[in-house]
Structure 1
Amino acid sequence: MGLLWFLIIGLLAGWLAGMLVRGGGFGIVGDLVVGVVGAFLGGLLFSSLSLSGGGGFIGSLVVATVGAIVLLIIVRLIKHA
């Protein structure tokens, strides 16, 4: 069940990041990949800055969304370079 929740949070985070960062998302598979990689990146960022996203679904979604937004900004900067 943990993997399923991780994928659901990743999909939601990827979709949210796609909506918050200029432009749309990358489709369901692309949003899932961005969200899952973003969740990992967000976890690294939050832990390196000694921050906590809180516990539970909402905290995980916030951390994953922040990571996905950072990832999208990096990808779009590289894409436009």
Structure 2
Amino acid sequence: MGAGMLIEILAFSILFGLKIVAEQKGFLLGLGSLLLIGLMIWNTVITAHIMCEALSFSFTIGALVAVIYALISIQVMDFIFPTA
């Protein structure tokens, strides 16, 4: 819960910054995108650690479960809130 909130606060601030610099095609737009990708990877690693500790599996299996969980979450969100 705490790590997820921290990641969401960071992601929302980066998204807000990206919205401001969206008209400018340059360094800041690329940097913001890289930061968001880094946050997604960090979130997956945290989820993998939680899964491997909770299920008593190796970190590799926890990472696999975390990636599958993330992909299913994206699909469900896309189904619930389709883009135009």
In the superposition, the TM-score normalised over structure 1's length comes to 0.41
- Higher RCO (CA 8 Å, separation ≥ 6 residues): 1
Greater Rg, structure 1 or structure 2? 2
